[in-house]
Homo-oligomer: A and B are copies of this chain.
Amino acid sequence: MVVWGINMIDQFIILRVNAETKEVKTEPLSGSELLSAGRGFIANTLLNEVETSCDPLGPQNKLIFATGIMPDSRISGSSRLSVGAKSPLTFGIKEANSGGQAALALARLGIRAIIMEGAGDPGNILVISRERCRIEDGREFLGLGNYALVEGLFERYGTKKCIISIGIAGEYGLPIAGIAVTDREGYPGRFAARGGLGAVMGSKGIKAIVIDMSSEVGTFGDSPEFRAARKRYVAAIKNTPLTGEALPKYGTNFIYGPLSALGAVPVKNFSLGSFERGQKIDGEALHRTIASRGGKGQSSHSCSTGCVVRCSNVYVDEEGSIVVSPIEYETIALLGANLGIDSLDEIAKLNYICNDLGVDTIEVGGGIGVAMEEGYYSFGDFKAIEAILGEIKKGSILGRVFGQGTYGAGKILGARRIPAVKRQGMPGYDPRGIKGIGVTMASSPMGADHTAGHTFAADVNHQARDGQVEISRSAQIRRAMYDSLGWCIFHEAPTIDDLGLISDLIECVYGKDLSPEQMLSIGARTLSREIEFNRAAGITLQDDRLPKFFSEERLANFGTIYDLSDEELERTLVDLEN
């Protein structure tokens, strides 16, 4: 058995932080506990430690940050940071994971997870280094957006840090507040965006977590076997068209064109399926714009050390100065096509403001889309969207309406067509054009979430109903597995048909040989526990539904309609552990 390579600690630990008493305790992990990571660790911990009926923003809820099983700097895609809690948006369990450097930074200190408990007064900073783990006064940072906050923290603590933070939205307790994580350049552009986890962090009074990265030691095993396994793994990534070509060139927006052809892009509050001016904002347009502008622009960029896929980007203005990094498909879909906005420059500006506020761009775009359809604003009105974001920043009543997200804002407006499931706004997929993702959005315990089981890569007619339940089910189990290993979604394609590519790496470090079946059972168990949490929290099988209008309105240009039955949706995730 190859032994763990970090030499200053014997084993991983959990940091248990009480936001009220400011006490920080460490708990050792050993043996089989070391194999529970990421989303799986979160599901276990929440189910064991949190009262399912608790107020998500109250002291009983716990906010958990968990690295993957192997957040090593040299394994591409292994360093996602999972964040979880009972969600103030869905009132069910929530895990959202982020790129950036946080998982790596924690791993270098031997920390597998942070469990944050209690509720504290606003304006505290959790500082984590080898010398100290403690809560410090950060009231001077209250009210700051993520960008200025991070600058201020680098000034106070030095720049060799990774920072996890919330903007004003998290301080306000808005259920669309996300948690920002800095990338390799110290830019807070990576997000555990969904489900209001930023509000939970705000309720704990923690404005930021500052993790020391000055130590360069601490990478996983370095045996010849490990190096050989890593080589096979990287070769598979390079040889897979998605990860070797499409993502490095176009980023996540590579998917815009294919989805548009299927009629699966959300346009004007999910009323069309492809946007008449879509070629101005698709993957090709994004790549061309960044490439032609030069300056600090990068059409391919890695959000964390070691990533060879490099699906991130740095978007620049005409002078080549940075506007935002990254700009991704979901934001282009929800703040662009869905709102009738056809300018990447405008979308990038809105994206920057959203990141600074610390809000989920999907929820913002979803809510404003409903308001536009209801006649309160006009589709394509960039100034109106900017003004709404200004209201969110001010904390005005109007701002708080859109701060409720797609579902909340839609309900306030009395709208009939609200694209949300389990109160979570739908991401950039019209389920009439890609029905498998529709099944995932309906049945996932996370609410409408494309990352919970993406079916685009499946070899199937996406507009037909046959087989979609099975495809979504296996995608969800698979995804729960990768999330429970801390593995990036874009490393799924090169490895799914040969899970040995990952289990060989795990074996080198933990000495445990996991069969593909054993690996998939990690996913099934995680999903099953999440559903158990939700049932106890009052979310029923009858909540596994898409909004009615998708099965009542045919998409004009495509003739498609959502025709999976309630029963099909309800049986997607039954008997997971049998």
- A400 CB contact (under 8 Å) in B174, B414, B538, B542: B414
In the bound complex, how far is the Cα of B416 from the Cα of A173, in angstroms? 11
Nearest B residue to A395 via CB reads B414
Interface pair A414/B172, CB less than 8 Å apart: yes
- A412 CB contact (under 8 Å) in B376, B408, B414: B408
Number of interface residues of A (CB under 8 A): 18
In the bound complex, how far is the Cα of B540 from the Cα of A540, in angstroms? 14
Proximity bits, A341-374, B CB within 8 Å = 1, else 0: 0000000000000000000000000000001000
Proximity bits, A364-397, B CB within 8 Å = 1, else 0: 0000000100001000000000000000000001
Is A461 interfacial (CB 8 A cutoff)?
Answer: no
Is A401 interfacial (CB 8 A cutoff)?
Answer: yes
In the bound complex, how far is the Cα of B578 from the Cα of A21, in angstroms? 49
Proximity bits, A171-194, B CB within 8 Å = 1, else 0: 011100000000000000000000
Nearest B residue to A396 via CB reads B376
Proximity bits, A409-432, B CB within 8 Å = 1, else 0: 000111000000000000000000
Shortest Cβ distance from residue A418 to the other chain B in the assembled complex, whole angstroms: 12
Interface pair A397/B412, CB less than 8 Å apart: yes
Most buried by B among A53, A174, A397, A542: A397
Proximity bits, A42-65, B CB within 8 Å = 1, else 0: 000000000001000000000000
Complex contacts, A400 vs chain B, CB 8 Å: 412-414
Complex contacts, A412 vs chain B, CB 8 Å: 397, 400-401, 404, 408, 412
In the bound complex, how far is the Cα of B397 from the Cα of A567, in angstroms? 37
Residues in chain A within 8 A of chain B (CB atoms)? 53, 172-174, 371, 376, 397-398, 400-401, 404, 408, 412-414, 538, 540, 542
Pick 21 A–B contacts, CB within 8 A, sort by A: A53-B542, A172-B414, A173-B414, A174-B414, A371-B397, A376-B397, A397-B398, A397-B401, A397-B412, A397-B413, A398-B398, A400-B412, A400-B413, A400-B414, A401-B401, A401-B412, A404-B412, A408-B412, A412-B412, A538-B538, A538-B540
